Structure 1
């Protein structure tokens, strides 16, 4: 419990305006982008510096209080859901660019800086930050580190782990360490790589050193329509097998196209069953030659129409349509789950066919929009909670993730495991594997205070938990409120 004395100690360490206790304010932090899991925290802290984060975590450790670090709350696996009677440490006020060296092509950031802001600051120097999640305008670099986010261009440029060289981290006992170094690779165990993607279970990153890339000399982008998703999948395999490494290869099916066009009118063909967005970048001559080969491959695989961006404005419009797809699905369905899994590229067509069959069996629609270049699926399961479809949708979403493992892939490509898929972890890992992960986690956090109940399956989570949050009928009617 957080008594008055402990609250005052938090206020002394961070300032009174950085400690939230009002029930209405606390409700703001009850969930992340996966709204099916909710819990109101006992306290929310808003530090501004590494020292304040360390002081807050040290007090949590002393009082044996569980804590959850939170960025922008855009996560889609329940990773930032608070713990009952626990503390949320929000990093929203830590938004400074601490260092920027254009010659060295590096930048040091606080975790609350948004992904898009990095490239905005770097752009006047001919530089940019490569990882680009669809939520890049609002998602933060701290959250990207926690989930090892990728984005549309990960097929060529990799994930967050490939672009972060060093981290200042507050460990769960309140001590501060630096992981990694100035060079991309350092001698000894790769603790930096271990921390990235750990979903807030090993500590809190408070300073993040990223490497930047030169803006490519040439960029070419097209949208190719296909009569079936299988044909589009075959085109992806053909492009990748040709030896060309595109900057991005994205796929949208008919439902995703319908939603995206309703939201932003990016010019996608509403009569297409599937569309591929393919982008190449690099030196001008090489880019042009490879782009012609991609166009030929799409025609060979049966494209019905190819739209080639003629300028930067049209290219931006195409990407606006792709990146708006997740949120746009709300225009065609009152509720939906965003799932995240990976399959081998050679099994894309099979995976999409199985998803279609599974959706028919459950009587629910599934929209597919995903990173086809590396097989990172993002099926969106559409449902209506008021019609009693939530349980079927949740089951279908889990079955799709586990199908990815069955096909030789992974439970997650970039959204993380969080609460959503913790109970599916035994489908991918054996008991010994999970035990090793647990021991590793305990070596950083012996008290189990950092984001407990996430990632690894536990009897409480998988056997006794009541499942996703469902409002009481009186709450829905506005008669009562939940605190």
Structure 2
């Protein structure tokens, strides 16, 4: 299916707003102005421009109004006004999402939780903390540090991304290989439903009685309601941590080392990969000590108790050498370890050093097929005459290919979008998934039929409708619709890269 345009989205492109909808939005605006003080509303054109998109800046739409909520009561009041006037709303946290999940729709209201950044309670004995959704991911660990605890999920954007956004997208991070994704670290959430009701999902027990509605909600991308309080699980900080960077002549050799590591039963805390293009960008931006001449680098970290860490680290080092590592650098101090991770976690931002724009994908593949898929991505990139930088969570097969392009060149932008979509769908063809942690959002909605049948999509939609019967909560996300995907009746038209023979039709 064709990819949505990357140019600023207009009402015509997403389905022009009808006069009735515009009228409802105007009436709702008056209701918001009566219900909230001016400092909690953004209504001017300049202020609204900041909310036109999230981290996927290719899609843009100016909302009708933004509510800066400061409490659960604020969120519930805002949602009830939207329900009363039939106006759609879009939840938004820090705005770092990369799939267009916080993209506003025509005449929609953005409900921002960015001001909700408080720690509400800490229960160190039971290793729990209750936080508001606007709190930064890394700030949770900082608040838990005096108790010798931390919050395990660690997206690369963790110093700015919010915990509410982590819940919405089921974010992972570098250490999710060993410790799991956000869903493995949440006890309960307080949610404002699309009707404006306040409910709690989950509980204090490990396995609450009844349907697991918490698991349904986590990763629902704001389509089932807005989270306003989160009880997170905290872990005890590991006693020992050891980190290495292994250089390889090719990305395929590095990928083989990853497969060998996991097949030996060693589950490190993290296994990250950067190819030569990513290394070049990272070194230019951070001077973290990566080898620019390496075809690829693996960052491997092992943590736990001293004895186990020592044994597993030796196995990891040996397997890297057995798979033709050209050099292995072992962090000798906490500072050197922090610098290695600074380089890895700065990779997305560092791309600005080598390209004016990029699109990032988030596909998942079986670890055993890493080398094969990386070769195919390279072939696709060559066919599209574009560069692709690879930096990703190699340990669990969660790829983050960055398609580099010039956004001022319309033809090149179109090729970049087609290549980005082709890579996402390639992951599905190799037995993987469209997303591991960034979500489907507006970006990959049109690719959902490559992974799910009509019955699958219908079942998902029925679940969504049970929570969101009027369709007001974050519409036009996740599910493909003709007006978003540009579907046209008539003869099938092959994808441009399909004609090269590099991709096939499922």
Could you state the TM-score of these two structures normalised by the residue count of structure 1? 0.95
Shift of 1:27: 0.5
Distance of 1:330 and 1:288 partners within structure 2 = 38
Report the equivalent of 1:34. Answer: 56
Q: Residue 44 of structure 1: SS of its match in structure 2?
A: strand
2:28–2:87: 8 Å Cα contact kept in structure 1?
no
Shift of 1:15: 2.1
Report the equivalent of 1:304. Answer: 326
Match of 1:386 among 408, 432, 439: 408
Report the equivalent of 1:284. Answer: 306
Pair 1:363-2:382 in alignment: no
Pair 1:449-2:472 in alignment: yes
Change (3 A) 1:336 1:82: same
1:217–1:281: 8 Å Cα contact kept in structure 2?
yes
Unaligned runs of 5+ in 1: 466-483
The residue correspondences of 1:236-247 to structure 2 (distance < 5 A) are 236-247=258-269
Q: Residue 408 of structure 2: SS of its match in structure 1?
A: helix
- What do the CA deviations read for 1:387-446 (whole angstroms, capped 9, x no partner)? 331000000000000000000000000000000000000000000000011111111111
Shift of 1:12: 3.7
Match of 1:174 among 193, 196, 200: 196
Report the equivalent of 1:402. Answer: 425
Report the equivalent of 1:411. Answer: 434
Pair 1:76-2:98 in alignment: yes
Report the equivalent of 1:473. Answer: none
Q: Residue 450 of structure 1: SS of its match in structure 2?
A: coil
Distance of 1:294 and 1:444 partners within structure 2 = 46
Range with bigger deviation, 452-461 or 9-18 = 9-18
Q: Residue 341 of structure 1: SS of its match in structure 2?
A: coil
Q: Residue 25 of structure 1: SS of its match in structure 2?
A: helix
Match of 2:294 among 255, 272, 290: 272
Match of 1:228 among 237, 250, 265: 250
Shift of 1:184: 2.9
The residue correspondences of 1:4-153 to structure 2 (distance < 5 A) are 6-153=28-175
2:25–2:87: 8 Å Cα contact kept in structure 1?
no
2:178–2:269: 8 Å Cα contact kept in structure 1?
yes
2:64–2:107: 8 Å Cα contact kept in structure 1?
yes
Shift of 1:185: 2.2
Pair 1:426-2:446 in alignment: no
Shift of 1:13: 3.0
Distance of 2:480 and 2:227 partners within structure 1 = 24
Unaligned runs of 5+ in 2: 1-21, 489-506
Distance of 1:329 and 1:6 partners within structure 2 = 41
Pair 1:462-2:485 in alignment: yes
Pair 1:200-2:242 in alignment: no
1:10–1:59: 8 Å Cα contact kept in structure 2?
yes
Could you state the TM-score of these two structures normalised by the residue count of structure 2? 0.91
Match of 2:235 among 210, 213, 221: 213
Distance of 2:206 and 2:420 partners within structure 1 = 37
Report the equivalent of 1:476. Answer: none
- What do the CA deviations read for 1:92-112 (whole angstroms, capped 9, x no partner)? 111111111111110011100
Distance of 2:373 and 2:36 partners within structure 1 = 50
Shift of 1:464: 6.2
Change (3 A) 1:440 1:391: same
2:259–2:368: 8 Å Cα contact kept in structure 1?
yes
Q: Residue 377 of structure 1: SS of its match in structure 2?
A: coil
Q: Residue 79 of structure 2: SS of its match in structure 1?
A: helix
Shift of 1:183: 2.2
Match of 2:274 among 252, 277, 287: 252
Shift of 1:239: 0.7
Shift of 1:5: 5.5
Distance of 1:142 and 1:153 partners within structure 2 = 19
Change (3 A) 1:362 1:5: closer
1:14–1:47: 8 Å Cα contact kept in structure 2?
no
Q: Residue 205 of structure 1: SS of its match in structure 2?
A: strand
Shift of 1:385: 2.2
Shift of 1:47: 1.1
Distance of 1:147 and 1:307 partners within structure 2 = 34
Shift of 1:4: 6.3
Q: Residue 355 of structure 1: SS of its match in structure 2?
A: helix
Distance of 2:25 and 2:481 partners within structure 1 = 29
Distance of 2:458 and 2:264 partners within structure 1 = 41
